[in-house]
Amino acid sequence: MSHYFETPTGKADVFRVPMRLWDAEVELDSSRGVFSGTGLDVGTAVLLRSCDPPAGPVRVLDLGCGIGPLTVAVGLADPEAQITAIDVNERALALTRANADRLGIGDRVRTSLPDDVPADELYDEIWSNPPIRIGKAALHDLLTRWLARLADGGVAWLVVARNLGADSLATWLEGEGWDCEKVAGAKGFRVFAVRRP
């Protein structure tokens, strides 16, 4: 069985799905074998409803971009944002690239496999509905790796399902020395703002 965090095999039959991303009504190209490929997933919708978009010339990381709803949302809401969208699923990266180009923000979006991101690159904001189902140890490794990329004064906006360990993840983050604030909760999800203490 394939998972959305693996690149699927076979032909990519592309179709469009409508989404509301903050004030923008858009259609994003999607396909099988990608996260939430049939529409905006509930967690990401809660994240967008709970947090204001960035403003000004910020460097943003979309961690686990899928087909790019967070990349597109940030890119459309903040015309000065520079966005790096990463995923281990190469089909998802191709769809994010196509969506960014078609919606006119492609010149400010870079799509990349995680290991291809320069090691010294820092971000003002990280936006993520992280892949909880990869397992606790792998999730902790992923967050340890990418939260370390926050610039001074930066913030990571994370949305996690309560029944998939949101509260224990917050406890772990605090134990690792991060300031983890719950900023919202809805539809079984928690939204956290994670900063350096």
pLDDT tens-digit profile of 98-154? 999 999 999 999 999 999 999 999 999 999 999 998 999 999 999 999 999 999 999
- Asked which of 43-52, 128-137, 172-181 is least confident by mean pLDDT, the reply is 128-137
Chain centroid, CA 195 distance in Å:
16
Chain centroid, CA 151 distance in Å:
17
| DSSP code of residue 12 | -
3-state secondary structure 87-153: CCCHHHHHHHHHHHHHCCCHHHEEEECHHHCCCCCCEEEEEECCCHHHCHHHHHHHHHHHHCCEEEE
Q: What's the mean per-residue pLDDT of the chain? A: 94
Q: Whole-angstrom Cα distance, residue 12 to residue 163?
A: 32
Rounded mean pLDDT of 40-66? 97
Between β-strands 109-112 and 179-186, what pairing exists: parallel, antiparallel or unpaired? Answer: unpaired
Q: Is the pLDDT of residue 93 over 90?
A: yes
Q: Is the pLDDT of residue 21 over 70?
A: yes
Phi-psi region of 32 (alpha: psi -120 to 50; beta: other; left: phi over 0): beta
143: which 2 tokens?
């967050």
pTM for the whole structure? 0.93
Between β-strands 109-112 and 82-86, what pairing exists: parallel, antiparallel or unpaired? Answer: parallel
Between β-strands 15-21 and 82-86, what pairing exists: parallel, antiparallel or unpaired? Answer: unpaired
Rounded mean pLDDT of 162-187? 96
**Domains of the chain from N-terminus onward:** 15-195 (3.40.50.150)
**What does the pLDDT read at residue 80?**
98
Percent of the chain with pLDDT over 90: 88
**What does the pLDDT read at residue 32?**
87
